[in-house]
């Protein structure tokens, strides 16, 4: 009996109430055609556990098909800036969904435990964060030391839904940009897949046929997310989805693009279909580029965005292994700037899986799949977590909605966790990775008392004794953690100390312990730094992103 079936038959094999896990990552290769077909068929009470994959999760929430969700990150960054999945955000803020949020590494460990047939695996990392409290994370005693170690209980999804580049007639699947799908397939009871194309034979499958129950050949099956080698993410389609759902018109979006179209081909016709890209360039599509910046290099005034990116770049030392996570377009630009100026031997790990990618132009997203087309090597998402745990990442960039005087970060919520006033995107890997990173760089693009607070509403991650250096870079100053408190290290040119204090939610102490040394003036970006920055971002996208 052939595993190859129509899309409608593949989706029909998913029962109401199933526990799903979703392939893909952020704006890349999500199983969107399968998700739309599930909604079209009226599936209900679905449960999902997923790595960062906001669009399919949000579509299920908007359709009322989702009963429970477990996730680590709900946001994404694209041409219109940073977005928290609006239907998920509304469902959480209004109490309309059973949900659990935890660090992505814990989800990876829960899936690994299921794949290995174990009841649990250690998931240390979020030491001191509030996730252990709200999730009542179980602990076991280390048999060697007696130390309490947090663990992740095994989670075995009923079904992995995944979209792939190629499949063969036997049912073998090839993914050219794997994230965690091989692990998800081993952990899941069943695999249901869609593929861009059918080939005669796959010699080295990412997921072998023995694990695949059903397969549908669905060109454009990841749209509006990207599919490496086939099409980019569709900006206008994502814009329409996010805009309508954010404005409370989810029903109109579903009618036009999901339940209205009779099948996948009708959807592509309604949405304009997947485009094509030139894999040699990462230039923005026509119409999406920002206006060019007047003047270049030393011939023009230095702007706050320039100082911010240069400040991030200067935190990178030559020869370091440096990592960025999701929604890190400006830190990615900063790493590229550092490698073009003072740190040419730094090794860059991008969370899309690219090791030392060639970056010759700024991108509105740090998970640009084309980074994989020109890079020194590739790694999977679980690999990146493992490298941090082994101490193989020297420096990492983190963002936050709130940072307090003890350098606790909040990416989780404003207000009470159980019923937040504002749901933030979540920890991604910050809670588990930060404790093991020697050099921590926290980016705050706009210095304000709303971002730099006396105490965070929720401690997503906290400082660790393993962190040898923690620096906060803002658009107007730099702060450094000393003796457990953030202290003012330098002010940018023209910034008044008193005015800065008014924009900071805690008392600013000077750089040395005890406050005995006045803060320096941050050196202005050099001519070489500005020339390199303008070559990487000639149209000034950074000014729109700060």
pLDDT tens profile 460-491:
999 999 999 999 999 999 999 999 999 999 99
CATH 3.40.1080.10 fits 7-103+156-271, yes or no: yes
Two tokens, residue 481: 């953690």
Partners of 215 in the β-ladder = 4, 193
Provide the percentage of residues in the chain whose pLDDT is more than 70.
94
What is the CATH number that goes with domain 297-545?
3.40.1080.10
Per-residue pLDDT tens digits for 146-173 = 999 999 999 999 999 999 999 999 999 9
pTM for the complete prediction? 0.93
409 forms beta bridges with 403, 461
Could you report the per-residue pLDDT of 17-59, keeping only the tens digit for each?
999 999 999 999 999 999 999 999 999 999 999 999 999 999 9
Task: Give mean pLDDT, residues 517-542.
Answer: 93
Query: Do the domains 7-103+156-271 and 297-545 sit in the same CATH topology, yes or no?
Result: yes
Buried/exposed code over 211-243 (b: 16+ C-beta within 10 A; e: otherwise): bbbbbbbbbbbbbbbbbbbbbbbbbebbbbbbe
Segments making up each domain of the chain, as ranges = 7-103+156-271, 119-153, 297-545
Q: CA-to-CA distance for 83 and 429, rounded, in angstroms?
A: 18
pLDDT 10s digits, 234-259: 999 999 999 999 999 999 999 999 99
Structure tokens of 245? 């759902």
Residues 6+ apart with CB under 8 A from 36: 59, 257, 258, 264, 267
Count of CB atoms within 10 A of residue 318's CB?
Answer: 12
pLDDT tens, 381-404?
999 999 999 999 999 999 999 999
């Amino acid at each position: 009996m052939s595993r190859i079936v129509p899309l409608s038959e593949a989706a029909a094999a998913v029962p109401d109430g199933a526990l799903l896990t979703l392939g893909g990552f952020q704006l890349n290769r999500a199983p969107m055609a399968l998700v739309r077909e599930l909604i079209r068929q009226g599936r209900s009470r679905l449960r999902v556990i997923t790595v960062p994959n906001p669009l399919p999760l949000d579509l299920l929430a908007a359709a009322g098909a989702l009963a429970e969700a477990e996730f680590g990150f709900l946001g994404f960054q694209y041409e219109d800036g940073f977005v928290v999945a609006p239907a998920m955000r509304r469902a959480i803020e209004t109490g309309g969904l059973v949900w659990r949020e935890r660090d992505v590494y814990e989800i990876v460990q829960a899936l690994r435990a299921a794949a290995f047939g174990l009841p649990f695996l250690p998931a240390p990392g979020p030491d001191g964060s509030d996730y252990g409290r709200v999730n009542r994370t179980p602990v076991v005693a280390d048999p060697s030391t007696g130390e309490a170690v947090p663990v992740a209980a095994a989670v075995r999804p009923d079904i992995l839904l995944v979209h792939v580049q190629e499949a063969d007639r036997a049912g073998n699947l090839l993914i050219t940009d794997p994230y965690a799908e091989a692990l998800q397939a081993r952990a899941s009871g069943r695999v249901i897949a869609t593929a861009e194309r059918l080939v005669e034979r796959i010699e080295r499958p990412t997921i072998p046929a023995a694990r695949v129950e059903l397969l549908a050949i669905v060109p454009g099956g990841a749209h509006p997310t990207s599919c490496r080698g086939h099409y980019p993410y569709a900006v206008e389609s994502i814009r329409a989805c996010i805009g309508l759902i954010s404005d409370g018109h989810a029903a109109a979006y579903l009618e036009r693009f999901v339940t209205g179209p009779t099948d996948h081909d009708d959807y592509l016709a309604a949405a304009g279909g997947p485009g094509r890209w030139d894999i040699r360039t990462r230039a923005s599509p026509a119409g999406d580029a920002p206006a060019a910046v007047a003047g270049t290099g030393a011939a023009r005034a230095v702007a706050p965005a320039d100082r911010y990116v240069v400040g991030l770049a200067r935190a990178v030392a030559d020869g370091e292994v440096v990592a960025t996570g999701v929604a890190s377009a400006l830190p990615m630009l900063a790493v590229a700037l550092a490698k073009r100026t003072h740190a040419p031997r730094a090794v860059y790990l991008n969370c899309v899986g690219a090791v030392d990618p060639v970056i010759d132009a700024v991108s509105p997203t740090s998970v640009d799949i084309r980074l994989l087309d020109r890079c020194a090597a590739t790694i999977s998402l679980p690999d990146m977590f493992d490298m941090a745990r082994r101490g193989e990442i020297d420096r990492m960039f983190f963002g936050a909605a709130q940072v307090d005087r003890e350098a606790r970060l909040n990416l989780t919520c404003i207000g009470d966790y159980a019923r937040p006033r504002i749901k933030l995107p979540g920890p991604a890997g910050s809670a588990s990775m930060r404790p093991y990173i020697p050099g921590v760089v926290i980016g705050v693009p706009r210095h304000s008392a709303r971002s730099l607070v006396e105490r965070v509403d929720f401690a997503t991650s906290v400082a660790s004794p393993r962190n040898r250096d923690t620096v906060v870079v803002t658009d107007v100053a730099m702060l450094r953690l000393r003796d457990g408190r953030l202290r003012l290290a330098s002010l940018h040119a023209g910034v008044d100390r008193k005015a800065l204090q008014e924009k900071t939610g805690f008392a600013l102490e000077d750089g040395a312990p005890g406050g005995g040394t006045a803060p320096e003036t941050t050196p202005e970006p050099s001519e070489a730094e500005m020339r390199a920055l303008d070559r990487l971002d000639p149209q000034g996208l950074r000014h729109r992103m700060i």
